[in-house]
Amino acid sequence: MDAKKKTRVISVDGRFPQPKVINFAAREILHGKLVAFPTETVYGLGANALDEIAVNKIFIAKNRPFQDPLIVHIGSITDLHLLVNDIPVDVYMLADVFWPGPLTFVLFKNERVPNNVTAGLDKIAVRMPAHPVALALLRSCRVPIAAPSANCFGKISPTTAKHVIDDLDGSIDLVLDGGSTTIGLESTVLDMTCTPPRILRPGGISKEDLEKVLGPLTVHDGRQSIEGGDAEETPQCSPGMLSKHYAPRAELILITIPNTKSALKKMRQLSKTKICEGRIVGLLLADEEKCFFADLDLQIITIGSQLQKESIAKNLYSGLRELDEKGVDLILAHDFGKEGLGLAINDRLRRASNIIIDK
Ligand code: TXA
Ligand code: MG
């Protein structure tokens, strides 16, 4: 696409999307254009998944390596047959509970799926999003939409249309602005081609909730993929599983000391040292933690109560972006437990971090 061309932004009602807007965006998709749209997790950058040339444009716009496979979105479970020949029974059971929603299945693809969608792999990642705008778009254009998060490769995923424009203005055709996304973290990616199924990326559906349907599950340890782990253990191409991903511009130090009080003490001590070294320090905190730092010269962003992981997840990426905008060169953050959404929050914070301090 012509780099000087301006990206069009059109507002759309996030709950009751106007058919006129949706039909226009659907025509753009069918004409091979790139359309960013809200899902319940993050904004996606969409192209017709069955149009190899359109899919190519996604990689170019995001500066994404061609070895990194995309998630394909569908508007109904029956559309799964367009992409996959043999659908395991467990997929129907899970889809019945969690679709539409933030759960992505990895399945063996069929011959209709262009190779660039899956980066040459014989497996495809598929999900049915719950956001009214995403669903209306999928149902209007009647083709599956390949859509990674609508950010530059390796950076923080967008949870507002403004975030999309900040990263991709001039490189894509259209953004549907349907307001902030509700979950704020990407979908859970579940590999259904192995037994038992394995979580490749923790996300909007918790491990505990999946286990209620499937029994005990394993979680892929993403660190294997950069430390040259067993090739069979490491899906070849999984950008969200690279160790440095979802990253702000500033350096990020993550404190993973289990006891919150000790973690906050460590953050205070580190803040003082770094300020003395001349660093511009920002903190990412839960609401109730701000008062511990009131006397220090810091930029502080709070992202919700410790007791409400949903709020921490929803505000995590915008909090990191805000700290970047405030011009800090160092961000200190702590983790948020392993239960429920905590697993996905910590996964993203780990991947965003340069240094992890655990004692
Ligand atoms: O919530 C989401 O999943 C968002 C919204 C837009 O739907 N999408 C998203 O896409 O996060 P992306 O491209 O940023 O992340 C794709 C994830 C990566 O973690 C990648 O490893 C995994 O999906 N993935 C895609 N295809 C795969 C495949 N064939 N095998 C294994 N993992 C795959
Ligand atoms: Mg992404």
Ligand nearest to the CA of 74: 1
State the DSSP string of 188-256: EEEE-SSSS-EEEE--SS-HHHHHHHH-S-EE--GGGGTTT--TTTS-S--GGGSSS-SB-SSEEEEE-
> What confidence score (pLDDT) does residue 243 get?
57
- Whole-model pTM: value is 0.93
> What confidence score (pLDDT) does residue 80 get?
97
Q: Ligand 1: which of 45, 63, 71 to mutate, most ligand atoms within 8 Å of CB?
A: 71
Q: How far is the CA of 56 from the centre of ligand 2 (A)?
A: 16
Contact 51, 71 (CB under 8 A): no
Residues 29 and 15: their CA atoms lie apart, in Å, by 21
Paired with 24 in beta bridges are none
> What confidence score (pLDDT) does residue 242 get?
52
Does ligand 1 have an atom closer than 6 angstroms to the CB of 126? no
Amino acid at 316: L
Does ligand 1 have an atom closer than 6 angstroms to the CB of 159? no
Ligand nearest to the CA of 238: 1
Q: What is the pLDDT of residues 45-71, one digit of tens each?
A: 999 999 999 999 999 999 999 999 999
Q: What is the pLDDT of residues 174-204, one digit of tens each?
A: 999 999 999 999 999 999 999 999 999 999 9
Q: Provide the CA 261 distance to its chain's centre, in angstroms.
A: 29
E strands, the chain, in order = 8-11, 35-38, 43-48, 71-73, 103-108, 123-127, 145-146, 174-177, 188-191, 198-201, 218-219, 251-255, 281-285, 299-302, 330-334, 355-357
* Region at 129 (left for phi over 0; alpha for psi -120 to 50; beta for the rest): beta
Does ligand 1 have an atom closer than 6 angstroms to the CB of 118? yes
3-state secondary structure of 6: coil
Residue 352 buriedness (CB in 10 A; 0-12 / 13-18 / 19+):
buried
Ligand nearest to the CA of 185: 1
3-state secondary structure of 76: coil
The pLDDT confidence band at residue 273, using thresholds 50, 70 and 90, is very high
Amino acid at 58: I
Q: Provide the CA 40 distance to its chain's centre, in angstroms.
A: 10
Q: Ligand 1: which of 40, 163, 186, 241 to mutate, most ligand atoms within 8 Å of CB?
A: 186
DSSP classification of residue 127: E
Does ligand 1 have an atom closer than 6 angstroms to the CB of 182? no
Q: Alpha helices of 33-123 — where are they, by DSSP H?
A: 52-62, 89-98
Residue 230 clears pLDDT 80, i.e. is over it: no
Does ligand 1 have an atom closer than 6 angstroms to the CB of 181? no
3-state secondary structure of 46: strand
Does ligand 1 have an atom closer than 6 angstroms to the CB of 240? yes
3-state secondary structure of 73: strand
Considering only CA atoms, which residue is closest to atom 10 of ligand 1? 148
Paired with 36 in beta bridges are 45, 175
> What confidence score (pLDDT) does residue 31 get?
98
Contact 146, 72 (CB under 8 A): yes
204 CA closest ligand 1 atom index: 1
Does ligand 1 have an atom closer than 6 angstroms to the CB of 151? no
With the C-alpha atoms ordered 331, 335, 341, 347, is the resulting torsion angle positive or negative?
positive
CA separation, residue 327 to residues 135, 250, 330 (Å): 37, 8, 9
Instruction: Dig out the tokens for 51 from the structure.
Output: 């149009």
Amino acid at 2: D
Of the listed ranges 3-17, 55-69, 117-131, 252-266, the one predicted with least confidence: 3-17
